[in-house]
Amino acid sequence: MIYDLLRDEIKGFKNYEVSNIECKYKMDANEVPFSLPESTLENLQEIVKSANVNRYPDPVSIKLRDKLAEKCSASKDNILVGNGSDEIIHIIMNAFVSPDDFVVYPVPSFSMYRVYSEIAGANKVEISLGEDYHYDVVEFIKSIKEYDPKLVILCNPNNPTGTTIGRDDIIKILEVNRGITVVDEAYYEFFGETVIDLINKYKNMIVLRTLSKAYGLAGLRVGYAVSNPEMIGCLNLVKSPYNVNSISQAIALSVLEADTVKDRVEYIKNERKFLMDGLSKIDGLKVYNSQANFLLLKFDDADYVYNKLLEKGILVRDFSGDNELSGTLRVTIGTREANSYFIKCIKEIL
Ligand code: PMP
């Protein structure tokens, strides 16, 4: 069963095979199209030197946690840093989910919720999103009452649909769920709403964030969890000691200090509108509203469009074979040049 699932996942990630192909516009993985901030690039040698790579990294990323805490109005005791937020989802599963426990999460959503639940041997309770992929909080509450899950995962905004769940609905879930509630805010910066301020009221909530998206550090693998200090202490017991390497810690700190994220997020949000407006005028596709840095698009023949785009040098994420997402492709918002070219190509293809 695990093998089948992982094989399916790998099939889903067929982009891995093509991402090595010379592709002019890489718009498949929800990355941002920016390199490191100028100030970080200028000081790179110093930053690498200060990382002292002959020594093991700081196992608890103290400087980085201090800076992250400042950014999200919390204390460093509220924060755990991981090798990407991916690793933290795995840590949470290891800490709290035993075989046959129930885990509740939306579908379609980030594929690793399913994979890690499967690896933990959990019973997966998959709640289908409603019309146009909107969250149906009533279905979540019904399932929580029925299954008393160890873990509920909410993805806000949701990947790959870009749809969101409102704060009031998250609170309704927190009020009924006796297990852990994870709110994955990987795309928070493009949306602007958070529930981090509720971590002390709801002690069983963990908010996940990442530097892979708005901060443009996907290759460094830095994600973080925000929760109350007891919960962070539990996760610390489970994580492997040196999970975040010294160079990643040092560069991440420098990028947070450079404080360029606001301008970059504004650029992407402006481009999201440009791409949305441009694509909405074309017949033969449906564009879903998104609060993240990607758009989900539905076509009559998504496979055909995917291959045509590839021929034209554009790589997008193909979900057309996925039961819950059939006929869809996900395009990551790029530069103005990439987005204009994308619109032009879609017009030519349809
Ligand atoms: N959560 C969501 C919703 C994601 O889309 C992703 C990456 N695609 C992750 C978590 C993992 O991000 P990372 O491990 O790079 O922090």
List, for residues 332-348, the tens digit of each pLDDT value. Answer: 999 999 999 999 999 99
| pLDDT band of 22, cuts 50, 70, 90 | low
In the reported structure, the alpha carbon of residue 348 is separated from the centroid of ligand 1 by a whole-number distance in angstroms of 32
Q: In the predicted model, what is the mean pLDDT of the chain?
A: 95
ipTM of the complex: 0.99
Atom of ligand 1 nearest to the CA of 218: 15
Q: Examine the pLDDT at 17 and tell me if it is beyond 60.
A: no
Atom of ligand 1 nearest to the CA of 29: 8
Residue 13 is predicted with a pLDDT of 47
Nearest-CA neighbor of 89 among 56, 44, 122? 122
Residue 254 is predicted with a pLDDT of 98
Q: What are phi and psi of 261, to 5 degrees?
A: -65, -35
pLDDT over 90 for what percent of the chain?
93
pLDDT digits (tens, 9 = 90+) for 55-64: 999 999 999 9
Identify residue 318 by its one-letter amino acid code. Answer: D
Q: Examine the pLDDT at 189 and tell me if it is beyond 60.
A: yes
Q: Examine the pLDDT at 160 and tell me if it is beyond 70.
A: yes
CA 70/CA 65 separation, integer angstroms? 8
Residue 23 is predicted with a pLDDT of 85
In the reported structure, the alpha carbon of residue 33 is separated from the centroid of ligand 1 by a whole-number distance in angstroms of 17
What phi-psi label fits residue 312: left (phi over 0), alpha (psi between -120 and 50 degrees) or beta?
alpha
Q: Answer whether 0.80 is exceeded by the pTM.
A: yes
In the reported structure, the alpha carbon of residue 150 is separated from the centroid of ligand 1 by a whole-number distance in angstroms of 21
User: Tokens 């795309």 correspond to what residue?
Assistant: 187
Upper half-sphere CA count for residue 198 (Cβ side, 13 Å): 19
Atom of ligand 1 nearest to the CA of 110: 3
3-state secondary structure of 113: helix
Q: Examine the pLDDT at 14 and tell me if it is beyond 50.
A: no
Six token digits for residue 12: 């889903």
Q: Examine the pLDDT at 118 and tell me if it is beyond 80.
A: yes
